[in-house]
Amino acid sequence: MAAAAKRLPLPPARILSLPPRCRRVVPFLPLMTVSSVSYGLDESLFRAINLAGTNAVLDLLMAFFSAIALPYILPFLSLPLWWKGRRELAFDLLVLLVVVVVVTEALKYAIGRPRPCDALPGVNLLTPGACAAEADPAFPSGHASRIFAVAALLSLTFKWSVRLGSFAVAILTGVSRIYLGVHWPSDVLGGAVLGVALAFVFVWLARRLRFYQKLRTRVVEAVARSVQRGTKA
């Protein structure tokens, strides 16, 4: 047990194969020891869920749920909100996503945690280059932080059906990142907690900051006028 407790989160043989995004943490690996329980549980859960390439239907579903949380796709959710008359909410969603992306990326590079597909052998990936395509470190999961932030924002506005549906999609998105081999379970959990926390703080501030409310009103009215002129033309 004593020997297991000294286990590093990254095997020494894998250090030189780390991508540039994570190499800077190598000098600090002696400080990154974790207990065999915490590391073992993270890896055990990862191995149980990382089934990419074993089932064509699941592969397609997991790839879909992963894709909808991409930073250049998720903002399109503001469009149906806008056309349904929830224009201030559409604006809030876009601003919240910007905040979440900035905070998440800052934490990723501050922590510099290697992805499981970088740190472990035998990870199941849909394509050989899937891990290399991930340009940033692992913790927290950006997909999870974004999709859970959106789910939390919608849950504060809509009925239970929308709340349950949005969080169901968020959970499946988080699971998809583990299934595809690019995130540890704790990355997803951390991203989910971060996203929900940022959403609640954002809404709390948005309801109290007059300058933000005025800015939102001006932007929404300006966009509405522009859309109206374009429609008439």
Q: Check pLDDT > 90 for residue 146.
A: yes
Residue 226 has which token pair? 């522009």
Distance CA 53, CA 57 (A): 10
Q: What is the mean pLDDT of residues 20-48?
A: 58
Q: What is the mean pLDDT of residues 132-153?
A: 93
Q: Check pLDDT > 60 for residue 162.
A: yes
Q: Tell me what pLDDT residue 211 has.
A: 93
Distance CA 144, CA 193 (A): 9
In the Cβ-directed half-sphere of 153, how many Cα atoms lie within 13 Å? 30
Quick: pLDDT tens for 83-101: 888 999 999 999 999 999 9
3-state secondary structure 55-101: CHHHHHHHHHHHHCCCCCCHHHHHHHHHHCCCHHHHHHHHHHHHHHH
Q: Tell me what pLDDT residue 233 has.
A: 58
Q: Check pLDDT > 70 for residue 144.
A: yes
Instruction: Note whether 33 and 7 are within 8 A (CB).
Output: yes
Instruction: Note whether 53 and 124 are within 8 A (CB).
Output: yes
**Helices (H), strands (E): how many in the chain?**
11, 0
Q: Tell me what pLDDT residue 7 has.
A: 39
Lowest mean pLDDT, pick from 1-5, 60-64, 151-155, 212-216 = 1-5
Residue 192 has which token pair? 């989910």
Reduced to 3 states, what is the DSSP secondary structure of residue 167?
helix
Across all residues in the chain, what is the average pLDDT?
83
Q: Tell me what pLDDT residue 15 has.
A: 47
| pLDDT band, very low/low/confident/very high, at 39 (cuts 50, 70, 90) | low
Distance CA 58, CA 54 (A): 8
Look up tokens 């749920």; give the residue: 65
Q: Tell me what pLDDT residue 231 has.
A: 66
Q: What is the DSSP letter of 114?
A: P
Instruction: Note whether 124 and 173 are within 8 A (CB).
Output: no
Query: What percentage of the chain reaches a pLDDT higher than 90?
Result: 58
| pLDDT band, very low/low/confident/very high, at 25 (cuts 50, 70, 90) | very low
Instruction: Note whether 33 and 2 are within 8 A (CB).
Output: no
Q: What is the mean pLDDT of residues 36-64?
A: 86
Q: What is the mean pLDDT of residues 210-227?
A: 90
Phi-psi region of 92 (alpha: psi -120 to 50; beta: other; left: phi over 0): alpha
Q: Tell me what pLDDT residue 180 has.
A: 95
Q: What is the mean pLDDT of residues 161-181?
A: 94
